[in-house]
Every structure is written in structure tokens, then in C-alpha cells.
């Protein structure tokens, strides 16, 4: 399973990419607004650091506007994936942009039927938002499982990108279900490294080695 960072923050991205575990980045208008400044410049820098798929979202709500913005975003860097929200306009924009050879991530997916429609118009990725479904007492991971099954049945090349991840258990479940990508906030990726028994074990090894007094 590919692991993406869900962030527009250069410090977070630069801290994790050198480890070799990061395959791409997702941003959204909220994340880029948090960073402020020149968002186009920021997206270009992110692409240069990650050298992998970097989702950048349009903010137009009509298909023509989304297509225009999508073309502009895609021209920033070869790694840009145009992100469009799942609406009728988003589906139309996805169809046009995908036909031009641009990769499109259809976002704000909350049902399997939405994912199916996005796949039919050539989305490179669909982004089911698991955390936001959990927030309203609906299983986000059940949705991922349904989408994975449907895409397998018909051999869609659209990748299932698990988004709105809140904790490492979402990551484990996504991997067990065979999701293609999981995009996580940096804090969730940091927590994937931690286990108290690893810390205790290492401390004991180092103490025992010191006690032996090897030269
Ligand atoms: C994914 O592409 C979205 O940017 C993101 O995962 C949304 O997560 P949130 O529900 O934590 O805002």
C-alpha cells in the first residue's frame, strides 16, 4: 500500500520524505490555506521534494472552471494530480481532464455509488473520507471495503485512496482491505513508528552491552 502525507506543510513533508516511506502527497484548500502565501510556489516545492503524485484541488464549482483550474494546476509540475470534488460538475471535469491524459483524484467520496461513477469517467484516484464518516457514526472502513470489491469486480484501474485518516488502525484496516493508497496526517505517520516495547527493548540491549564492558 502506498503511503501519502496529507499536508501542505513543508517542515512535516521534509521531515518524513528522507525516510523513504512516502510515495506522494495530498493537499486540500483547508491545508493550503493554513500555510498561506504563494500556494502555487508551495505546490511546486512539494512536488520537487516528494517527486511523486501530489494532489492539488480546484476551488471552482462549475465544470468549465474546474477544467480551466485543473489545466493550470497540472501545468505547474508533472507530479500534480488534479483534485476535484465529487459533484456532477466534478464528474464532467474529471471526464475531460482524464481524456487529456491528466490524473484526477475525485475527492469527498462518501458512498460506493459515487466511487463507481468517478471510476467510470477515468479517475486515477477516488478518495473516501473515512474519519468524517466515523464522525457521524457510520463506518468509513466499510465504505473502503465496498469500493475495493467493486473495483476488483470490474478491474477498474482507479486507485482507492483512503483519506480523512485519524489513527493508525485506519491504516492497518486499509492495508488489510487492499486499498491502494492511504493518506495520513504527519501525526498519524509519526505514531506508526512508536511502540513502548521497542523503546524498552532497545534500552535493555544498550544497558546489557555497556555492562559487559566490551572494548
Ligand atoms: C484528503 O485528500 C483530504 O485532504 C483529507 O484526508 C481530509 O481529512 P480531514 O477529514 O481530516 O479534513
Taking 90 as the threshold, does the pLDDT of residue 8 lie above it?
yes
Taking 90 as the threshold, does the pLDDT of residue 118 lie above it?
yes
pLDDT digits (tens, 9 = 90+) for 135-159: 999 999 999 999 999 999 999 999 9
Cell of 186: 504527519
Annotate 35-51 with b (16+ C-beta within 10 A) or e (fewer).
Answer: eeeebeebbbebbebbe
As a whole number, the mean pLDDT across the chain is 98
Q: Is 45 a catalytic site residue?
A: no
* pLDDT attached to residue 175: 98
* pLDDT attached to residue 215: 85
Give nearest CA residue, ligand 1 atom 5: 164
Mutate to test the pocket of ligand 1, among 2, 3, 28 (most ligand atoms within 8 A of CB): 28
Query: From the CB of residue 153, how many other CB atoms can be counted at a distance below 10 Å?
Result: 8
The whole-number average pLDDT for the span 63-84 is: 98
Amino acid at each position: 500500500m502506498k503511503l501519502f502525507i496529507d499536508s501542505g506543510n513543508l517542515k512535516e513533508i521534509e521531515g518524513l520524505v528522507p525516510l523513504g516511506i512516502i510515495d506522494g502527497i495530498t493537499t486540500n484548500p483547508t491545508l493550503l490555506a493554513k500555510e498561506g502565501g504563494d500556494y502555487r510556489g508551495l505546490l511546486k516545492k512539494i512536488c520537487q521534494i516528494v517527486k511523486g503524485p501530489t494532489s492539488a484541488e480546484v476551488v471552482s464549482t462549475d465544470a468549465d472552471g474546474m477544467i480551466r483550474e485543473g489545466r493550470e494546476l497540472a501545468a505547474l509540475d508533472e507530479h500534480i494530480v488534479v483534485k476535484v470534488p465529487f459533484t456532477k460538475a466534478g464528474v464532467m471535469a474529471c471526464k475531460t481532464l482524464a481524456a487529456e491524459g491528466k490524473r484526477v483524484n475525485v475527492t469527498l467520496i462518501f458512498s460506493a455509488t459515487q466511487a463507481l461513477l468517478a471510476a467510470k469517467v477515468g479517475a486515477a484516484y477516488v478518495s473516501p473520507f473515512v474519519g468524517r464518516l466515523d464522525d457521524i457514526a457510520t463506518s468509513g472502513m466499510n465504505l473502503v471495503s465496498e469500493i475495493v470489491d467493486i473495483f476488483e469486480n470490474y478491474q477498474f484501474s482507479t486507485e482507492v485512496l483512503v483519506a480523512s485518516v485519524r489513527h493508525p488502525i485506519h491504516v492497518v484496516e486499509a492495508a488489510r482491505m487492499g486499498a491502494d493508497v492511504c493518506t495520513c496526517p504527519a501525526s498519524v505517520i509519526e505514531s506508526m513508528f512508536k511502540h513502548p516495547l521497542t523503546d524498552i527493548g532497545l534500552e535493555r540491549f544498550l544497558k546489557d552491552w555497556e555492562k559487559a564492558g566490551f572494548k
